[in-house]
Amino acid sequence: MANQNKKTSLYVLAESAIMVALATVLSMVKVYEAPYGGSVTLLSMAPIIILSMRRGVKTGLLAGFVHSVIQLLLGLNNVAWVPTPMGIVLCCLLDYILPFTLLGLAGAIAKPFKNRLVGVAVGTAIAGFLRFMCSFLSGVLIWGNLSDGLPAWTYSLTYNGSYMLPETIMTTIAAVLIYKAAPQLFRAQND
């Protein structure tokens, strides 16, 4: 039994590493890049979301966190523009750590739905919305000075919505299509 648990853990670790690597590579393929950070990528949220639906919230959150650290390291030049130490902490949390980690909740959000296709769609959309909310808060609390006279919340809603809405819609559509083509990829595999 212990040997089987080690084998399963190794499979989960390998699968998680592959999905984090895939998410990272896809994050570098940008369909649209906003001028002050943020972009529409080639479905970079999908691997973490699929992993979460397949392996559960614990694995999803951990993989999302690892992905967030990689994204933070890749985006350190954005953090350099933040003028205060507290702003730097908020930027790291709201632009990187929280939004990418929260993608790992998709499986937990999808789980209660009896219709798995609906669960995949809702879980993906809400995970994307949670990521958007982190970016929105960051825009209000940190980047509002770029608003050019608009209220910070209006600026943040418009700016972050310009890339997060298409990113979330594309990822939700892709997750549904992938589910229809290969539902076994979403079949729950317990941790």
CA distances to 23, 117, 154, 162, 166 from 144, in Å:
29, 38, 9, 16, 22
Q: Which of 47, 56, 45 is nearest to 17 (CA)?
A: 47
Report whether pLDDT(46) > 70.
yes
Residue bearing tokens 């979330």: 168
pLDDT-derived band at 1, boundaries 50, 70, 90 = low
pLDDT of residue 132: 98
Kindly report, residue by residue over 110-156, the tens digit of the pLDDT: 999 999 999 999 999 999 999 999 999 999 998 877 677 889 999 99
The rounded distance, in Å, linking the Cα atoms of 104 and 114 is 20
CB 37 within 8 A of CB 16: no
Report whether pLDDT(191) > 50.
no
Which residue type, as a one-letter code, is found at position 134?
C
Q: What are phi and psi of 81, to 5 degrees?
A: -80, -10
Q: Is the model's pTM score more than 0.75?
A: yes
Q: Mean pLDDT over residues 67-74, rounded?
A: 97
pLDDT-derived band at 189, boundaries 50, 70, 90 = low
The rounded distance, in Å, linking the Cα atoms of 78 and 91 is 9
The rounded distance, in Å, linking the Cα atoms of 124 and 176 is 9
Report whether pLDDT(190) > 60.
no
